Amino acid sequence: MPKWEVIITKVVEMAILYLPKLLLGIVTLIIGFWMAKVLTRILHRWLERAKVELTLREFLTNIVSILLKILVVISVATMVGIQMTSFIAIISAMAFAVGLAFQGSLSNFAGGVLIVLLKPFKIGDFIEAQGFSGTVETIQIFHTILRTPANQIAVIPNGPLSNANILNYSSKETRRNEWTFNIDYSEDYDKARQLILDILEADERILKEPAPFVRIGALSSSSVDIKVRAWIPLADFWNVNWDVLEAVKKSFDANDIHIPFPQTDVHLYQRKTLNN
């Protein structure tokens, strides 16, 4: 028998032997991944009904989803005919190599676990960390996703994030805002102060306790700087910030209180020369 006929015969025999298993394995893989997705959704809903915190809920469902998919892959490998002992040895060797190559990813995984356990922030909080500021969209296994005020997405590795300085603007229900308003030295400070206090007292969103603070903060070279502080519910913080700025400007204009701006006085001297 010619050599090429021997090769074709071997290929046909292997196809008859392994093709049904391979097709069955592919079908099992597709169905298994679909079932993993369904089970993950069921787990997510169960955790939601159990009132598990959103951050922990998302993190657990991500881990379970990955573990279920790994089990599906192992089952398909066994079905195709790969010996489990050999398969486990291969997986162990690959895990060791991947572990060396992706030490940063393992650090990010450990960082994600620390974030979920220590809870320096949770989903929905507005934080500032690693040079980014934004609302926490989700805490994944390796990364935390932030949505910036400009509607951009920042992906921050969990490893550095878990060891970084984090400023959480949403951890408390109230927040103090500060403004600085400048008036000319010739203006009536008491009148300007009372105008600001009237604006703060009229705004129902500003807390009465602690009481708003309005005092002279500094005597600058060209202005009297009035420092203003007020406590505001977190949900109203930015709206109150803009509204107070506009209201003070309009009130100063209506009461002829001038806000100084940088000026430069230029004096010209004419030099007389004597003719010899």
Hey, what CATH class is 3-101 in?
mainly alpha
**What percent of the chain is predicted at pLDDT more than 90?**
40
- Tell me the Cα Rg of the chain: 34
Distances (CA, A) of 233 to 230, 237, 240: 10, 6, 9
pLDDT of residue 47: 74
Q: CATH number of 174-254: 3.30.70.100, 3.30.530.20, 3.20.20.10, 3.40.50.720?
A: 3.30.70.100
Q: CATH number of 120-168: 2.30.30.60, 2.40.110.10, 3.90.650.10, 3.40.190.10?
A: 2.30.30.60
- Arithmetic mean of pLDDT over the chain: 82
Give the tens place of pLDDT for each residue, 129-169: 999 999 999 888 888 999 999 999 999 998 889 888 999 99
Give SS3 for 196.
Answer: helix
Residue with tokens 């500003």: 206
Give the tens place of pLDDT for each residue, 200-246: 999 999 999 999 999 999 998 889 999 999 999 999 999 999 999 99
Kindly provide the b/e burial profile for residues 115-138, where b requires at least 16 CB atoms within 10 angstroms of the residue's own CB.
bbeeeebbbebbbebbeeebbbbe
pLDDT tier, 181 (very low <50, low <70, confident <90, very high otherwise): very high
Alpha helices by DSSP H, listed for 119-218, are 158-162, 189-202
d(CA 86, CA 272): 104
Of 18-22, 87-91, 265-269, the one with minimum mean pLDDT is 87-91
